[in-house]
Amino acid sequence: MKRSLYLAAAIALTSPAIASAAVDLKLLKVQVLLDRAGFAPGVIDGKGGQSLTAALRGFQEARGLSVTGKPDAATLNALGANKPFPATRRIAIGKADAAGPFAPVPKEPADQAKMSSLGYAALSEKLAERFHTTPATLAALNPAGTRLRAGAVVNFPNVLPASRAYDAKLKDDWKATLSSLNVSASQPEAEKVVVDKSEGVLKVYGKGGKLVAQFPATMGSEHDPLPIGSWTIKGASYNPTFHYNPDLFWDAKSSDEKAKLPAGPNSPVGVVWLDLSKEHYGIHGTPNPEKIGRTESHGCIRLANWDAARLSLMVKPGTPAIFQE
């Protein structure tokens, strides 16, 4: 369903399939500022909800404010929401971005394995992910009849990174992915990561036990519960291929066979896999950022691609990962 909507949006942002109510620009600005501060509000859409509430609570805890989960006066002041910061930016679409290639991703693993990459279905999907939003929100932020094509100037949420000076040790293709997701090179160093099931978030703690970042997460299910305990992050696999093994999925079809799925943002594990000391478990991205915290996983920790990529810059091999109720 999602990918068919993205294909429609490739023609015009005003396609009836992605028509959306007007965006609350005040809330959108709060979401943008939280995202830039490292307290991810989920997809930036100018709407309230559980992810925004959790982000506000995390930011308030980190700043020593009353933890209300609401954009109260003290929180807005700490975020700088009262300053003349533009919540959106007008940016021209480049020729390389518009050129694609774009192709719908089939549902079945066997069919996905036949593709050269699990890339974006349409330009609208690519741009929405780059700016941490949805095609429907882009439609609401732009005039009727806006078309996504090379040279078009479009309103986007203002999540442009503070720096793109990525570590020279990183491979060029991964640096390109970080840049394409508007992930800043400037990130805090994690002393530990805590996955909190009751709050539905992944928290990053820095020096002195200070909360420095937080991301909404999907974690486990009734069939594959979150593995409570203390683990470590063993390492990262960037733009990974995915080895699909139906024996590890309770809901796999009996006819499914093992398959090697190509890399890409629409891979089942998104753009990065952070391997855990718990065998078969990891922290990874997703092809469906709008479903984070609203669906179940097969036990792993699932983040939006841009949040998983950002987290990868904070951690290193040996970083403790504590999973708690």
Task: Give the chain's domains with CATH numbers.
Answer: 1-160 (no CATH), 192-324 (2.40.440.10)
Query: What is the model's pLDDT at position 149?
Result: 96
Helix (H, G, I), strand (E, B) or coil at 7: helix
Q: What is the mean pLDDT of each run of 10 residues along the chain (325 residues)?
A: 38 51 91 98 96 98 98 97 94 95 92 94 97 96 94 98 97 98 98 94 97 93 77 97 70 66 96 95 95 66 97 98 94
Is residue 177 packed enough to be buried (19+ CB in 10 Å), middle (13-18) or exposed (0-12)?
Answer: buried
Nearest partner of 157 among 224, 85, 220, judged by Cα: 85
| Contacts for 34 with CB less than 8 Å, ≥ 6 apart | 40, 41, 52, 55, 56, 59, 79
Considering Cα of 28, then 156, then 12, then 291, what sign does the dihedral take? negative
Instruction: Tell me how far apart the alpha carbons of residues 205 and 214 are, in angstroms, rounded to a whole number.
Output: 9
Nearest partner of 126 among 98, 145, 147, judged by Cα: 98
The amino acid present at 301, given as its one-letter code, is I
CB 110 within 8 A of CB 256: yes
Instruction: Tell me how far apart the alpha carbons of residues 278 and 230 are, in angstroms, rounded to a whole number.
Output: 9
DSSP state of 39: B
Helix (H, G, I), strand (E, B) or coil at 27: helix
Q: What is the pTM of this model?
A: 0.90
